[in-house]
Amino acid sequence: MQHPFSETRTLFPILTRKAQLSSCSQSALALPVRAAIQDYLASWQEDGMDWMGWMEAVNDAKSEFAKLIHAHPDEIAVMSSVSDIASSLGSALTFEPAQNGIVVGDIDFPSIGHVWLAHERKGAKVRFVQPDAEHCISLAAYAETIDRHTALVSVSHVSYYNGFLQDIAGVARLAHAHGALVFVDAYQSAGAIDIDVERDQIDVLASGAQKFMLGCPGIAFAYVRRAVAQRLFPSNTGWFGRVNPFAFDIHGLDFAKGAARFNTGTPPMVNAFAARAALKLLNSLDIPTVETYLRHLSGVALEEARRLGLELASPADPHRKGATTAVKVKDAARIERLMAEKGFIVSARNDVIRIAPHFYNTEQEVIGALRTLSGMLAG
């Protein structure tokens, strides 16, 4: 397959020296994202303070995220991390005894499990859905775990560990059939997969900017479906969650319309500058083509890994995974360091090395990383 985004490579200076294949952790820095951070610094240095301009960056970033997932800007709130978003959602649920269940995947990102477990003190009961031998969770396993006591089903779109791609529309159908809400952790998919929250009937979805969204840490976006937002009152709140944040009325706890009620304190403005530029760049591409290209790179990675005899932790079918391909290794952290010394930026987690290309990467970079890894494991 021809590289459909080869002309974008000049936007990522690091690619002239290194193969950055770590989008499951941190994507490469794009020139417009760097310039946006410098714009914030220039504004701070030259103007001293520009609340209006800085808030404009936050609102623009929200709009760009909305576009990326086929939502409306008034369905987006801004926080600092995906963990914060899950905590805020939990703070809005009451966990009455008749409907106090939280169902979460056993292989989902640990922070999300920690947030739900913390709500057991408020009466929640957490049930973990078990994966199969391939580290994938079937819809049947969700169906067995969700029941009429379930208040919330929390699902990872793409696994941080092995890239397994979940059928979130299927999970949403199961949740809704039992009157439960569905929360999607899209941190490993947003920016790499064409997400449509309307089509898939998602209630709440979260992603941070650092991974496939090309931004930096410290900012995360929450989609909250309009009708759902109206009946939720998060106790994790702050002045930006009010109808008018600038009313400065200490007694007036009103909740803004829609997702805005999930805003908390002063938004992370410098990160919003970066996120606005990053999301604009992503939205200037055709995301379904990005998804198709990354599936192609998955096929290339799986085939090369098999040829080299590497042990894979990822599903064998490219249609069942996102961009990340995970190879089992001993001492993953050491291998990550050695790979970086050889010019391949990959990411270690537990017992795997994750190779996570984005649209700017080439087949040669993916194959080169796997051959270098294989050589290292053999030597």
Ligand X SMILES: Cc1ncc(COP(=O)(O)O)c(C=O)c1O
The residues in 187-216 that bind ligand X, with binding defined as CB under 6 A, are: 187-188, 208
Label residue 314 exposed, middle or buried (CB < 10 Å: 0-12, 13-18, 19+): buried
How many residues interact with ligand X (rule CB under 6 A)?
13
Task: Please count the residues of the chain.
Answer: 379
Tokens of 249: 């009325």
Q: How far is the CB of 348 from ligand X (least distance, A)?
A: 12
Q: How far is residue 18's CA from residue 122's CA, in Å, rounded to a whole number?
A: 48
Q: How far is the CB of 112 from ligand X (least distance, A)?
A: 6
DSSP conformational letter for 312 = B
Q: How far is the CB of 52 from ligand X (least distance, A)?
A: 28
Question: Closest CB to ligand X among 99 and 111?
Answer: 111
Rule CB under 6 A: choose which of 12, 65, 109, 293 binds ligand X.
Answer: 109
The residues in 231-270 that bind ligand X, with binding defined as CB under 6 A, are: none
Rule CB under 6 A: choose which of 220, 270, 310, 348 binds ligand X.
Answer: 220
Rule CB under 6 A: choose which of 11, 28, 78, 82 binds ligand X.
Answer: 82
Burial 29-50 (b: 16+ CB within 10 A, else e): bbebbeebbebbeebeeeeeee
Strands of 220-224's sheet, edge to edge? 76-79, 220-224, 204-208, 181-185, 150-156, 101-105, 125-129
The residues in 139-178 that bind ligand X, with binding defined as CB under 6 A, are: 156, 160
The CA radius of gyration of the chain, in Å to the nearest whole number, is 21
Contact (Cβ atoms closer than 8 angstroms) between residue 147 and residue 178 = yes
Q: How far is residue 111's CA from residue 185's CA, in Å, rounded to a whole number?
A: 11
Phi, psi of 63 (to 5 degrees): -65, -40
Q: How far is the CB of 36 from ligand X (least distance, A)?
A: 20
Q: How far is the CB of 325 from ligand X (least distance, A)?
A: 15
Rule CB under 6 A: choose which of 22, 27, 81, 271 binds ligand X.
Answer: 81
- Among the listed ranges 75-83, 263-271, 334-342, 367-375, the one in contact with ligand X (CB under 6 A) is 75-83
- Among the listed ranges 31-39, 68-76, 117-125, 182-190, the one in contact with ligand X (CB under 6 A) is 182-190
One-letter identity of residue 377: L
Q: How far is residue 15's CA from residue 23's CA, in Å, rounded to a whole number?
A: 13
Q: How far is the CB of 102 from ligand X (least distance, A)?
A: 16
- Among the listed ranges 128-136, 181-189, 305-313, 336-344, the one in contact with ligand X (CB under 6 A) is 181-189
Question: Closest CB to ligand X among 208 and 258?
Answer: 208
Q: Measured on CA atoms in the order 108, 109, 113, 116, is the torsion positive or negative?
A: negative
Phi, psi of 183 (to 5 degrees): -110, 125
- Neighbour tally for 351: CB within 10 Å: 15
Contact (Cβ atoms closer than 8 angstroms) between residue 186 and residue 238 = no
Q: How far is the CB of 136 from ligand X (least distance, A)?
A: 15
Report if residue 185 touches ligand X, rule: CB under 6 A: yes
Question: Closest CB to ligand X among 157 and 276?
Answer: 157
The residues in 43-72 that bind ligand X, with binding defined as CB under 6 A, are: none
Q: How far is residue 159's CA from residue 105's CA, in Å, rounded to a whole number?
A: 10
The residues in 278-307 that bind ligand X, with binding defined as CB under 6 A, are: none
Question: Closest CB to ligand X among 78 and 300?
Answer: 78
- Among the listed ranges 81-89, 95-103, 233-241, 297-305, the one in contact with ligand X (CB under 6 A) is 81-89
Contact (Cβ atoms closer than 8 angstroms) between residue 186 and residue 157 = yes
- Among the listed ranges 162-170, 180-188, 297-305, 356-364, the one in contact with ligand X (CB under 6 A) is 180-188
Question: Closest CB to ligand X among 161 and 240?
Answer: 161
Residues lying near ligand X in the complex (CB under 6 A) are found at 81-83, 109, 111-112, 156, 160, 185, 187-188, 208, 220
